[in-house]
Amino acid sequence: MGAALTLDLTADAPDVARAMIGWTLLVDGVGGPVVETEAYRQDDPASHAYPGRTPRNAVMFGPPGRFYVYLSYGIHWCVNVVCGPEEVGSAVLIRALEPVHGIQTMRERRGREPLRELTSGPGRVGQALGAGPWLNGGVVHLAPPDRDREVVATVRIGITKAVDRPWRFLDPASPYVSRRARTAA
């Protein structure tokens, strides 16, 4: 079957996160198909929106289809797409994508790294796309997938709360996903 032609950003965050796999994300012509996402909802202790509206997460409570960009650990700009039923404060974190458009630009921004490590991780994606405060609140541009992709759900990574929720979605066939899922045997 052909891939979906529309993406309902007003759906529940986990549904949007799963549906977004395979869609091509472009920032100023640079980007590629999304292969790894994570969902964050307001009723989710791990979400930035959980404590309520603050200056940083204000965009999450705005209309869907906008970028929510924040600085992580003082060095990494992480890119999210605001989604959710209404303005409830949910978003999808872009954890990895396949470098297809503007590879040269991404390499220059990240400094000659192997293609495989260009965009395999939230901080890397942010740096490769040239994300920053100026992108926060901007309109997201997504192009439909060329073909179907397998999608699996796993637990999220790098969080300390609500670790059990299987809201990380990825394409297991793509070599560009971040692989740090092995913690237990």
Q: Is 107 in the site for DNA (CB under 7 A)?
A: no
Q: Is 114 in the site for DNA (CB under 7 A)?
A: no
CA distances in angstroms from 89 to 65, 104, 166, listed in the order given: 12, 35, 19
Size, binding site for DNA by CB under 7 A? 41
Beta carbon of residue 147, minimum distance to DNA (angstroms, whole number) = 26
Task: Reduce the DSSP state of residue 139 to 3 states and report it.
Answer: strand
Which residue reads 């793509």 in tokens? 174
Name which of residues 133 to 172 contact DNA (CB under 7 A).
Answer: 156-161
Return the range that interacts with DNA (CB under 7 A); candidates 1-9, 20-28, 101-109, 110-118: 110-118
Distance CA 145, CA 89 (A): 26
Q: Is 33 in the site for DNA (CB under 7 A)?
A: no
Q: How many helices (H) and strands (E) does the chain have?
A: 3, 8
The DSSP-derived string for 18-36 is HHTTTPEEEETTEEEEEEE
Q: Which CB atom, from 12 or from 117, has the smaller least distance to DNA?
A: 117
Per-residue contact string for residues 53-92; x = within reach of DNA by CB under 7 A: -xxxx--x-------x-xxxxxxx-x-x----------x-
Q: Which CB atom, from 23 or from 40, has the smaller least distance to DNA?
A: 40
